[in-house]
Structure 1
Amino acid sequence: MKRIVLITLGTCSLILGAIGAVLPLLPTFPFLLLTVCCYAKSSERLHTWFLSTALYQKNLESYVQGKGMTIKTKLRIIAVVTLMMACGFLMMARVPVGQLILTSVWIFHILYFIFGIRTLREAPVILRNSAEDEG
């Protein structure tokens, strides 16, 4: 029963993470991280499959391996979280304590991504001349 629940939760989070990779409003990273955890605890086959997907390799691989994240990934995550928290902040116009808590969480989030996660350099893109390829 536990295995079925974990596979279902992992698959739902995978779907949400894939949608988040396309839609900037939905966060990708936490959903894919949940997918890795659920699949690792429930199905070796699904876990191995997910680790081989481009979705995992592009968004999570370097973080899970402890290497860090590229600046582009960090900025994307910070932007989405900032947007979502700004919406929550505006909705809490009459709840100053809620705004204070949300602001504190947002500040912690920004500081964590700046100082807590190592920034990786992106691999340089090598442009090749098509004339060289023909010769």
Structure 2
Amino acid sequence: MMQPSKKILLLLIGWFFVAVGAVGIFLPVLPTTPFLLISLWAFSQSSERFHDWLYNHKIFGPPLQDWSKHGVIPPRAKFVAVGTMAVSAILVITFSSTPWYGLVAMLALMGFGAGFVLTRPSKPRPETD
């Protein structure tokens, strides 16, 4: 049995990230699905009812199901993720006094993240019988 305070905290985390994800629908630079995945996780730990609601939601559900079943990252999300990494790297390199080893570490981590994002499928593979 989960402690009530832990359950409340996870519910608050879940609803907070649902709200952030909903804002992401209207702001092109704010990705929706990663925040909804955090919500889905928080709800899976605290409320089966809210987890099932979010997973089967008419708008939010399909990308969550695509990720869960097929590991799909849509092209728009890939573009935003890699583009944001590139712009961030350019800004840090241009306007900060970060030592060379910090820049190398940052670029390596961004490269790893970009590689992960870009190697995920963009749409579910067709089901074969």
Query: After TM superposition, is the score higher than 0.5?
Result: yes
- With structure 2 as the length reference, what TM-score do the two structures score? 0.76
- Contact 1:32-1:60 within 8 A present in 2 as well: yes
CA distance in 1, matches of 2:30, 2:113: 17
Matched, 1:120 2:123: yes
Determine which structure has more spread, i.e. the larger CA radius of gyration.
Answer: 1
Please point out which of 113, 116, 123 is paired with 1:109. Answer: 113
Unpaired segments ≥5 residues, structure 1:
124-135
Q: 1:47-88 CA deviation, whole Å, 9 max, x = no partner?
A: 1111121233232211112x2326xx1x22222222322342
Contact 1:14–1:31 (Cα < 8 Å) also in 2: yes
Note closer, same or farther for the CA distance 1:120–1:92 as it changes in structure 2 (3 Å cut): closer
TM-score w.r.t. length of structure 1 = 0.73
Q: Tell me what 1:18 maps to.
A: 22
1:76 to 2:51 alignment: no
Find the aligned partners of 1:111 and 1:91 in 2 and give their Cα distance: 20
Tell me the matched-pair count.
118
Instruction: Name structure 2 gaps, 5 residues minimum.
Output: none
Runs of 4+ in 1 over 4 A off after TM superposition: none
- Is 1:42 the counterpart of 2:42? The answer is no
Identical-residue share of aligned pairs (%) = 25
* CA RMSD between the two structures: 2.3
The equivalent of 2:36 in structure 1 is 32
Q: By how many angstroms is 1:121 displaced?
A: 5.2
